[in-house]
A and B are shown apart, each in its own frame.
Chain A
């Protein structure tokens, strides 16, 4: 089977300032891969390039096909700042929208949206707008929304940044149950250990290491050099 994601020789800069240089890696189907790197090392930018939201040099292939509107429909992403992924007057309407858009019956769409919110411990907020949630709750809501599309590749940007301990544990458990390839950008090394088997280390826009998460986390000089410990 072809890989879920193949990135080759990807480079990107905002204006003339290079941010990503010559990035190549693949993510297998159902593989869970971490991207670590200090603040500003280019993690978010890399995810945006993969999602086709920024135009980069090099190639991105999704499920063996060139990145296109239809191949990108098979991926979902949770932004580092997810407040703008949710905009309806009620949370349940946000989650139902992708289903309605796909032609699912209204009642069924709302039933599934409500069930998904309950899965994420947000049933008390179903009729409230996302703007009334805390940042951590909003992050969970954005993940719940991403899953409404049954993505085969899930891109997560700093998923634990605002979560409390219990929410992190629940998130790690939930991710394990999702049958999709995952690419998780984070600087939370504990979460990385729990949720990924392989990790890419990003330093100043280049891949400084690519290997088993355990091995990478044991390499203290490398982590220190990358500004992670």
Chain B
């Protein structure tokens, strides 16, 4: 795909995310369904695509439960899922390499562009650390229901946060040394 097409697709997906945050009823269900289809299409491998949905599904479940007790609008959970899937899709199809090559300190978008690249790096750190930690856990724990299954999952999640924080600190240190951030 050319970068112009990717830019348009990314922009379209972002706009769809914004719009779906205001939908309800059947249009919202359609938007969530479409977002789900786009997510599957981008990930290609079905199992990996479904697994990557577990955290957001859990998050939506919590919102749903809170809505149940507090009487809030249950559509909130569906909106959360739709917005999350559409904006991550926009993130995935965005022409990052092309955009980064356009970066120029003389441009008014320079700071904003750097900021987006930082956000992208942080997202990648979080994804990479999660993958690595869960793989490491998988090597020594068989199944979540076995002995130590739950507690090790808990500690794995804690260590993801600790390591992500450490890497975030190191990233900030590197950029401040390079004079890019203060």
Residues of A within 8 A of B (CB): 48, 51, 53, 69, 72-73, 76-77, 79, 81, 83-85, 87-90, 93, 97-98, 100-101, 103, 106, 127, 131, 149
- B163–chain A nearest beta-carbon distance, Å: 11
CA distance A79 to B171 in the complex (A): 10
Contacts of A48 in B (CB 8 A): 173
CB-based A-B contact count at 8 angstroms: 61
Whether A93 contacts B100 by the Cβ 8 Å rule is yes
Smallest CB separation, B89 vs chain A (Å)? 18
B170–A84 CB distance below 8 A: yes
Question: Which B residues from 139 to 182 make CB contacts under 8 A with A?
Answer: 167, 170-171, 173-174, 176-180, 182
Q: Are A101's CB and B180's CB within 8 A?
A: yes
Residues of A within 8 Å of B174, CB to CB, are 79, 84-85
In the bound complex, do residue A100 and residue B105 qualify as a contact, i.e. CB atoms below 8 Å apart? yes
Contact of B177 among A72, A88, A93 (CB under 8 A): A72
- Cβ-defined contact, A53 with B101, below 8 A: no
Which of A53, A69, A88, A149 has a CB less than 8 Å from the CB of B100? A88
Give chain A nearest CB distance to B45 CB in angstroms.
19
* CB-contacts of B55-113 with A (<8 A): 96-97, 100-101, 103-105
Is the pair B100, A73 in contact by a Cβ cutoff of 8 Å? no
Shortest Cβ distance from B125 into A: residue? A84
Shortest Cβ gap from B107 to chain A (Å) = 10
Q: Is A90 touching B171 in the complex (CB atoms < 8 A)?
A: no
